[in-house]
Chain A
């Protein structure tokens, strides 16, 4: 196995490390933790966080890439690696990923969706539904399919409940040790919901997710849970795989634009004068250009660059990844102006405050004033706008893919799925599962993100409580 580090992977790692270091730092500092506790305390916020965590963990698993060795070493005894880059998630999902049929099949189907001309051993031809190679292949009698499905669901349910119960048990033990209460007291406290944090909601949401995971995985290896697409790939695998694309667009875009927006916004507000003029000119100009044009042009430039330097991008995965990164950058460029404007206004306000004036009067350097006094006081605005932007960006990806300037066509994403689903809707009988699958998974993510954003805003900016 040979690890491969894609650009977006590295940035995702950077993001993770900074989140962890923040958590580490905040562990002991109540003033940093307090707003986050407020987020969790709202029940919708708690649910949304757990759902987001589930998505993020899939996304992280999908961000560890490597090449598998081909087994036979070459003449010099060096291991030969496959040129195909796969992720940890792909590797785990191998039984689903590699179960490729010929073409469309419906969810839980045992046969192809449309009739095919089959040649019988005696040379004659029949038009019939062909049996799938993998989906429901273990069934001897396809009539009993639903009994079998029910059985598998039950088994998955038992397994899930068991895991959940075990987990809850461990949590309760840990909590009772921490709160210095008896286990039964802790238990009843959680059930009654009388604790500081809504443990009941957290555990319940977690339980639902665990059940969903166990049931779908045990179904997924036997059937095509959400059918297959035109070339017979499993749609369930594709929707899950799209999670990473969505998350990367939603998070890296803001991560990339953040330094510019923060720096320029604060500088404009703090220094005023010609600095302000230049920065204002910059963002008015940039925001005047229709975004689609900017994105198209940038994507085209990248394609030109890539076709001029084909050696730098070995595999399809790497090429798709660079395009994804570039899309994030260019989306960042088109979306930083809003935040920049907000920060400029806020800094203007802060600058007039007594303590900043005092600091300046005492001859404290500009840099120190900005980092000590201004930056910490605008961070809540930054945070809120990051969280608010997230869902918009996930949705934007779908639209851009439709226009043809989104992620690489070979990359699995909800946008690409919806885009191809448009053609499938015109088939008769209709192929609906790609659209529904992409829609449901995207909807859950965006809904969770929106609810989470609301909770974050309420927690960090109490003034806006009712907004």
Chain B
């Protein structure tokens, strides 16, 4: 098992290099360093010398991938790509093109993102499991059918619509919570209520549908029939046996998203003015701040891969028959 994890972690390295090369290429096909400098220096009275100076200070005046003027290893190392990428692998994100410390920004912006993503995830999981168990319990009745239909209807509504109508009704008409914004500490709660509610409602449709399928598959298995035949009440069967066994596929399916909760949600954060990592990424893309984009992509990749490894491990934990090789 430990050997497996080590191997998986080693396997991560080529993937990270690949991701890095790809983002690097995508970014610089679009933006020349000149573009970045012009963007940063503003509109009025920008001289070519100022642009050159800006590039030189940040090391963007070097060749992109390969430096033909240099000799030996310097051919590869004295390039924008090499200089900007190596630090990432030891999690040194460096400074943004605006001159801010990226690691510090990330560590600050991570919490608002988590403050939304975690409640949405937990409350959503709980709601979805409860609802889908209800549906599974009442399977075949009108409750089940109307529940499934409602699920499809909820799924068919654009998430933008949930946000727009939620803000309009709850904040604007009913004055229940602030319309947008964020605050640190306990005061954050009042800002979080609305995005969390909307996030949960938006996920009910697909979530319930998926979990219901898992429960039904479990219910149709032999051991459940045996339990029922023993005279156990339906409710007890459901909780004692079905829920317990269904948790395996549910958990393993869910583990992969946990690390990504840190990354935040792009849409929700920008609609509600929450200073999390999602809006950080969007802003960086719009401002063409390559340093931040690269750091965020790197972080996202690492977290995604951690999620994959966690999934593998959780398989072995819940089901000892599975061996990792």
Contacts and interface: CB of A to CB of B under 8 A. Distances in A.
B182 interface: no
Interface residues of A, number: 41
A425 interface: yes
Interface in A390-425: 391, 395, 398-399, 402-404, 414, 418, 421-422, 425
B19 A391 contact: no
Interface of B: 14-15, 18-19, 22-23, 26-27, 29-31, 152-153, 155-161, 164, 168, 213, 216-217, 220, 263, 266-267, 281-282, 285-286, 293, 296-297, 300-301, 304-305, 308
By CB atoms of chain B within 10 A, which of A290, A294, A398, A425 has the most?
A290
B30 A425 contact: no
Contact of A304 (B18, B19, B30, B297): B30
Interface in A409-467: 414, 418, 421-422, 425, 435, 439, 442-443, 446-447, 450-451, 454, 464, 466-467
A171 interface: no
Contacts of A284: 15, 305, 308
Contact of A398 (B152, B158, B305, B308): B158
A14 interface: no
A290 B281 contact: yes
Given A297-B30, A300-B31, 5 more contacts: A285-B15, A298-B26, A301-B29, A435-B164, A443-B156
B108 to A, nearest CB: 20
Contacts of A288: 15, 19, 300-301, 304-305
Contacts of A361: none
Contacts of B297: 289-290, 293
- Considering the complex of A and B, which 5 residue pairs feature the smallest CB-CB distances, nearest first? A467-B213, A297-B26, A288-B301, A446-B156, A285-B18
Nearest to B300: A290
B18 A450 contact: no
A301 B155 CA distance: 33
Nearest to A398: B158
20 contacts: A281-B14, A286-B22, A288-B300, A288-B304, A288-B305, A289-B19, A289-B22, A293-B296, A300-B31, A304-B30, A391-B156, A398-B158, A402-B160, A402-B267, A403-B266, A414-B158, A418-B158, A425-B168, A435-B164, A467-B213
Contact of B153 (A292, A421, A442, A447): A447
Contacts, number: 106
A436 to B, nearest CB: 10
A422 B285 CA distance: 22
B300 A301 contact: no
A292 B29 CA distance: 17
A296 interface: yes
A403 B282 contact: yes
Interface of A: 281, 284-290, 292-294, 296-298, 300-301, 304, 391, 395, 398-399, 402-404, 414, 418, 421-422, 425, 435, 439, 442-443, 446-447, 450-451, 454, 464, 466-467
A421 B158 CA distance: 14
Contacts of B266: 292, 403
A450 B157 CA distance: 11
B27 A297 contact: yes
Nearest to A466: B216
A301 B158 contact: no
A395 B220 contact: no
Contacts of A450: 152, 155-156
A325 B220 CA distance: 45
A385 to B, nearest CB: 15
Nearest to B303: A288
A293 B285 contact: yes
A404 B281 CA distance: 14
Contacts of B155: 391, 446, 450
A447 B156 contact: yes
B160 A443 contact: no
Contact of B217 (A292, A399, A466): A466
A300 B263 contact: no
Given A435-B164, A447-B156, A289 B23 contact: yes
Contacts of A443: 156-157
Nearest to B153: A447
B159 A422 contact: no
Contacts of A395: 158-159
A447 B152 contact: yes
B143 to A, nearest CB: 16
B285 A281 contact: no
B147 to A, nearest CB: 14
By CB atoms of chain B within 10 A, which of A287, A398, A466 has the most?
A466
Nearest to A450: B152
